[in-house]
Amino acid sequence: MAETINEVKFSDEAMAEIQRYISHYPEGRQKSAILPILHIAQAEFGGWVSPEVMDKVAEILNIQPIEVYEVATFYTMFNLKPVGKHVLEVCRTGPCCLRGADQMIDMIKQKLNIEEGETTADGMFTLKPVECLASCGSGPMLQVRELFYENIDSEEKLDEFLEMMRHKEHETPTWKK
């Protein structure tokens, strides 16, 4: 029984996408596809990668689980704990701060009543300040899943953004379209 509950199964569309990435590399170099696969896994399984998911990735790539763990823990985009529906990845680096990113992060904490790394009680938002997202000309800004939300430079715009997100479903990943 427990085995069935914990079994990790990628959708057929996700598996096709995984195979497409593996095919980009020479024979025997399939491990190269680990980062795109972890991105697919995170989108597929609720925005984070559990040890079970990482084990499944190792099985698909025919490598040791430790090879997946060491990669998933090195790259900051992979969430290793459950997260809220929308992870607010707010840029906290210099150029965005020149346009008010520090104040924006403070406002988010206040409005959602959470600290950095925490999730709201309703499971809607996780606050995850991140480093520079290559959007320095349009800060303050943040990323949720694949999308950027830029020029959030006033309380009104932040309120508007949070309200929109409360009613927003995630985009369907391209490989399912």
Partner 1 sequence: MGLKILTEHINVPGIETLEVYRKHGGYKSVEKAVKTMSPEEVVEEVKTSGLRGRGGAGFPTGMKWSFLAKPEGIPRYLVCNADESEPGTFKDRWFMEKNPHALIEGMITSSYALGANTSYIYIRGELLFVLRILEKAIAEAYAAGLLGKNILGSGYDLDLHVAPGGGAYICGEETALLESLEGKRGNPRNKPPFPAVKGLFQSPTVVNNVETISSVPWIVNNGGAEYAKIGIGRSTGTKLISASGNINNPGVYEIELGVPVEEFIYSDQYCGGIWKGKQLKAVVPGGSSVPILPANLILKTAAGEDRLMSYESLSDGGFVSGSMLGSGAFIVFDEDQCIVRNTWNYARFYHHESCGQCSPCREGTGWMEKVLHRIEYGHGHQQDIDLLVSVAKQIEGNTICPLGDAAAWPVAAAIRHFRHEFEWHINNPKEATAPGAVYRGQPETVTA
Binding site for [2Fe-2S] cluster: residue ranges?
Answer: 91, 96, 132, 136
15 forms part of the interface with partner 1 (CB under 8 A): no
DSSP state of 77: T
Residue 70 interacting with partner 1 (CB under 8 A): yes
Of 56, 85, 86, 99, which one interacts with partner 1 (CB under 8 A)?
99
Position among 97, 124, 153, 165 found at the interface with partner 1 (CB under 8 A): 97
Name which position in 98, 116, 117, 159 contacts partner 1 (CB under 8 A). 98
- The three-class DSSP label of residue 148 is strand
Select 56 or 99, whichever has its Cβ closest to partner 1: 99
Asked if 76 and 130 count as a contact pair (C-beta separation under 8 A), the reply is yes
The answer to whether 129 touches 105, Cβ cutoff 8 Å, is: yes
Interface pick for partner 1 out of 9, 29, 166, 168 (rule CB under 8 A): 29
Does 81 sit near partner 1 (CB under 8 A)?
A: no
Number of residues written out for the chain:
177
Please report, as ranges, the residues that interact with partner 1 according to CB under 8 A: 24, 26, 29, 31-36, 38-39, 61, 67, 70-71, 74-78, 89, 92-95, 97-99, 130-139, 143, 146-148, 174
